[in-house]
Structure 1
Amino acid sequence: MAITARALNRSTLARQLLLGRESLDVVDAVRRVVALQAQHPASPYLALWNRLSDFDPAGLETAVDGFQVVKSTLMRITLHMVHAEDYRAFREAMEPTLRASRLGDARFTASGLTLDDADALVPDLLKYADRPRTSAEMRGWLEERVGAPMEPVTWRMLRQYAPLWHAPVGGPWSFGTVQSYVAADTLPVLTDPDAAAEGLRTLIRRYLEGFGPASVADMAQFALVQRARVRTAVQALAGELEQLEGPGGTVLYDIPGAPRPAEDTPAPPRLMAMWDSILLAYADRSRVVPPAYRKLVTRVNGDVLPTLLVDGHVAGVWRPVDGGIEATAFHPLPGPVWQGLAAEARSLRALLADRDPRVYSRYDHWWTKGLPAAETRLLTGD
């Protein structure tokens, strides 16, 4: 069976709750969309606001406080929020990547610590983190344990490898500049190839549920794991997956019966969060990001700007400014689209008003450096 590029776009939007806001509990919503990119504390909130009707940020805070939804270093070696029940399998899937990239990093090995040292330290570190501990407390504990000062970067490599959850510290978005950590409730099995293989199979199933259909390259990009590992996992799942032919003859895989809306299904405009997962979940990002715009929204240092999503594709960027939301379109947009974006801006400003009206303002320098614009409008939502 063949599937077009536009139909792939609509499949992603449907599974990511972006064809129409749905009435879901935030915990169920996080499970549905698989993982929320969480480098910036506000982004999971804005991601769910884009996807849920009557989204109440207090619901996410309750889920975070109760560790029903957890934040940790996972896919692509970066911070994600995931359902707590998904965490163990996802972390086991990521074990080879995290171990090589964190404990094999020259900044870690330069400390004089070895893999054996790390393996000896981590279990006791997790016991110490049986309740939330600040970053300073945990680093101090490690320094006492090894009998020497520990460079901040060494501690960063070790904490990103260890199965630690970020503990909420309050503030407008649950997490802030002060960092606190706690050991995962159900600890993953580390350094076990069989556990890693089973975890990857689970991660692939979940990825396809939330982002499919997808190629081996897409799956590898989403997680940042070796394609050979993904191919092995896909082969093991062969009896559970459907195979499709994508654009250019690309082999795609999917969960049988998963939503695949018609390619002419309407897609409403959205103001997407920084680093929204749909912008990063594929090797072929043209599913959502037109190739001409990719470098405009994904900057040289990896910052992924908050984007305008129009007809399911990136059409520009946005940022809060005094008086409203400044929307910069990379190509001309029709009047009804601007009206839809203005309605979104009104809702977004209400969400931000009591929390952080100038969210993402630290990234304003990308605008001062210049962005191509067919049109820029101040969306007040009035």
Structure 2
Amino acid sequence: MLTLRDLNRATLARQHLLDRHKGDVTDVVHRLVGLQAQEPRPPYLGVWSRLEGFTRDDLHTALHARTLVRATMWRATLHLVTAADFAAFRPLLRPVLAAAARRFEGIDADAVVAAADRLLAHRPHTFNELRPRLQEEFPEQNERALGYAVRMLTPLIMVPTEDRWSFPRDSAFTPPGIALDPAPRLETLIERYLAAFGPATPADVQTWSGIGGIRRVMNAMNLDRLTDAAGRELFDLPGAPRPGGDVPAPVRFLPDFDTLILGHADRTRVLADEHKGRVATKNLRIKAVYLVDGFAAGTWQIKRTGKRAKLLISPFTPASLEPIEEEGLRLLAFAEPDATALSLEIAT
């Protein structure tokens, strides 16, 4: 039987949040099967918390080399993934993304996708550019619906720029130039998920990926069967790390929309139920949190005034401020390298 702390430490170990990974930025993104990337900055901060010696240029260079790409993936949301994982797993998402596209009725999806392919073959487009051009060809359709259908149905990647976090607010999209796997395996995806988030239930895998029919596949796989404190069956990879609940866990800062907070149907291995409402907002944002002893202990945000940068924390529970401040100011120095004064403040 795995206790809640056992689950917490097993997942943190696989997320490189007990010890930072010593290696390459692509290794970390591969290990996590991607990082949520609804906005440009969070993936940088998520990697910073997991990779020793990480610099902005490490990720910026990988994006421009297209070993890493930012694209619509899990749960029909933007993620930073390796090019290899885009090729391997984007085909598995076709039914999920096609179902999402059907929320708008009356659209000839094949015709719209063909028109978008023709336009994007000439040059990258932002969706603010693409939508009106599509409506010229489909004047009876809602402009937003046309853009959404293309985003769901056409494999595209975002074009990196020289912006601070590699993408402007209104990014251009382009065909990936990557051959997609003609025979993707759901079993491979499940194994990769467990390597990053396990031990886990089929509902956890389905919540993270958006793909249905997970339990049937997991039941047929050669996986360890475990139970948690509530008696639920958990699956895991044979030999996967489970360091035990008594292993120390350092303070770590996770950005908005971090993949760890979104990675399970039951988030209590990291986020207590009583704190969920302070992290997940009504407009579907997932706030940045910091971990103390492995669990979310508060939210944080950066406030910038001129050359002064302040890390504002909102604690859920009392905790020693010294390690929080030490790690928080290191994060702030990374996120705001041109600031001349750094400070941490507790919200009142």
Q: TM-score, normalised by structure 2?
A: 0.90
**In 2, Cα distance between the equivalents of 1:189 and 1:344?**
41
Secondary structure of 1:248 counterpart: coil
- Kindly indicate whether the alpha-carbon contact (under 8 Å) linking 1:163 and 1:188 is maintained by their aligned counterparts in 2: no
Alignment of 1:77-92 (within 5 A): 77-92=76-91
**In 2, Cα distance between the equivalents of 1:332 and 1:225?**
39
Match of 2:210 in 1: 224
1:348 and 2:331 aligned: yes
- Kindly indicate whether the alpha-carbon contact (under 8 Å) linking 1:17 and 1:33 is maintained by their aligned counterparts in 2: no
Aligned length: 339
Match of 1:268 in 2: 250
Match of 2:287 in 1: 305
Q: After TM superposition, give the deviation of residue 157 of structure 1 in Å.
A: 3.0
Q: After TM superposition, give the deviation of residue 148 of structure 1 in Å.
A: 6.9
Alignment of 1:93-132 (within 5 A): 93-102=92-101, 104-106=102-104, 109=105, 112-118=106-112, 120-121=114-115, 124=118, 128=121, 132=124
Q: After TM superposition, give the deviation of residue 188 of structure 1 in Å.
A: 3.4
Match of 1:374 in 2: none
Gaps of 5+ in 1: 358-376
- Kindly indicate whether the alpha-carbon contact (under 8 Å) linking 2:37 and 2:80 is maintained by their aligned counterparts in 1: yes
Secondary structure of 1:28 counterpart: helix
1:283 and 2:269 aligned: no
- Kindly indicate whether the alpha-carbon contact (under 8 Å) linking 1:34 and 1:210 is maintained by their aligned counterparts in 2: yes
Q: Which amino acid aligns with 1:316?
A: G
Q: Which amino acid aligns with 1:348?
A: L
Gaps of 5+ in 2: none
Match of 2:188 in 1: 202
Identity in percent? 36
Q: Which amino acid aligns with 2:39?
A: H
Match of 2:12 in 1: 13
Moved more, 135-144 or 295-304: 135-144
Match of 1:372 in 2: none
**In 1, Cα distance between the equivalents of 2:246 and 2:109?**
53
Q: After TM superposition, give the deviation of residue 118 of structure 1 in Å.
A: 4.3
Q: Which amino acid aligns with 2:143?
A: E
1:133 and 2:125 aligned: yes
Alignment of 1:107-256 (within 5 A): 109=105, 112-118=106-112, 120-121=114-115, 124=118, 128=121, 132-139=124-131, 142-143=134-135, 146=138, 151-188=143-180, 195=183, 198-226=184-212, 229-236=213-220, 238-239=221-222, 241-256=223-238
- Kindly indicate whether the alpha-carbon contact (under 8 Å) linking 2:74 and 2:208 is maintained by their aligned counterparts in 1: yes
**In 1, Cα distance between the equivalents of 2:119 and 2:92?**
22
- Kindly indicate whether the alpha-carbon contact (under 8 Å) linking 1:139 and 1:150 is maintained by their aligned counterparts in 2: no
